[in-house]
Amino acid sequence: MYTNLNPRTMGMNHHPFPVLLEAARQSGFRGIEVPAGAFETDAAAAEAGRVLADFGMRFGLIMAPADMYRIPDAEFPGRVREFGEWAHRARLAGCRRAYNHIWPGSNVYPYSQNFDWHCRRLEAVYHVLREEGIQYGLEFMGAKTVRDQFRYPFLHSLMGVVNLAESVSPEIGFVFDTIHWYTSGSRLDDLHYALRHVDRVVNLHLSNADSTRSREEQDDHRRALPGTNDTIDCAAIVGAFGTAGYDGPVILEPMSPTVDRYAGMTAPDAAREAMECLRAVMEQAGVEET
């Protein structure tokens, strides 16, 4: 696996991409997220890929142009086409991964109707990304405080999004996120499924729970950095993924209050602190970057 700087999840997205890239390089990150829009031209994307290769780095994931499972139906076809254009340039830059989260409920559709609705959208997104050689993955959201916002419950576990993915194609993968895994129940069968299917894991997200709240009370927007409390053993999880042969990106996604602090720091200082956290986790896990 390789350390990846994701400015969007670190409160750093207000910095220009060249500043972020230099901060990531100086701090020792081996990867960085594809910037929004995936570059303006094919030539710019290819050049960005060459620059990263010269730095001994690679791109992480390409973000979607919108929340593909929340935008109105009328907007969806245009956004799919846009995603395909972004994916084309991301591929030229050397990116091979993308993902989207799945909301754990709906105020419109009961479960069965919502599942079918998601399948139709997922199939459209999957096919445009597949044409560009981009592996697509789904992320579940486990927090009860998020689930309780919806009238009709939906998927909120790893096996839930795996079931959705396989209803369209077994090539569709998933994200393993430590906080979502914890809030969905810390099921060991889910963890071991992921470890036995690391070829389908598009990203590994690390964050810790708020130690002042119970599992059911966790606020999805307030988290802690790995290693700051004993609620989630991120090092053990990283070690397990390393042993299983996971070779994709690993990012920090700590939310508030960490991202609020990083937003007020210089890009080099925030990247350096984030890298120190990731290094500590990986050293404790006995995992070396690949």
Quick: pLDDT tens for 240-276. Answer: 999 999 999 999 999 999 999 999 999 999 999 999 9
- Structural domain contains residue 254: yes
| DSSP per-residue string spanning 105-138 | EESS--HHHHHHHHHHHHHHHHHHHHTTT-EEEE
pLDDT digits (tens, 9 = 90+) for 167-203: 999 999 999 999 999 999 999 999 999 999 999 999 9
Q: Contact at 8 Å (CB) between 20 and 7?
A: yes
pLDDT at residue number 290: 85
Tell me what the mean pLDDT of segment 79-92 comes to. Answer: 97
pLDDT digits (tens, 9 = 90+) for 202-215: 999 999 999 999 99
Establish if 267 belongs to a structural domain: yes
Query: Does residue 43 fall inside a structural domain?
Result: no
Residue 51 lies in a domain: no
What does the DSSP 8-state code read for residue 146?
A: H
| The predicted structure's pLDDT at residue 116 | 98
- What is the number of domains present in the chain? 1
Please tell me the distance from the alpha carbon of residue 234 to that of residue 129, in angstroms, as a whole number: 31
Q: Which residues pair with 101 in a beta bridge?
A: 139
Instruction: Please tell me the predicted confidence (pLDDT) of residue 199.
Output: 97
Taking the C-alpha atoms of residue 262 and residue 129, their distance in angstroms, rounded to an integer, is 32
Predicted pLDDT of residue 14: 95
DSSP 115: H
Q: Report the C-alpha gap between 109 and 211 in whole angstroms.
A: 34
How far separated are the first and last CA of the chain, in Å rounded?
A: 5
Residue 148's CATH number: 3.20.20.150
pLDDT in tens, 117-152: 999 999 999 999 999 999 999 999 999 999 999 999
* Amino acid at residue number 282: M
Q: Quick check: is 23 in a domain?
A: no
Residue (of 85, 95, 8, 96) closest to 40 by Cα position = 85
**What's the confidence (pLDDT) of residue 271?**
98
In a domain, residue 136? The reply is yes
Which residues are registered as beta bridge partners of 136?
98
Is 125 inside any structural domain? yes
Domain with 113, as residue range(s), is: 2-12+96-285
> For all residues of the chain together, what is the average pLDDT?
97
Please report whether residue 201 resides in a domain.
yes
- The SS3 assignment for 201 reads strand
pLDDT per residue as tens digits for the range 7-61: 999 999 999 999 999 999 999 999 999 998 999 999 999 999 999 999 999 999 9
How far apart (Å, rounded) are the C-alpha atoms in residues 219 and 86?
32
At 88 the three-state DSSP class reads helix
Structure tokens, 231: 């609620």
pLDDT above 90: percentage of residues in the chain: 99
Give pLDDT, residue 1.
97
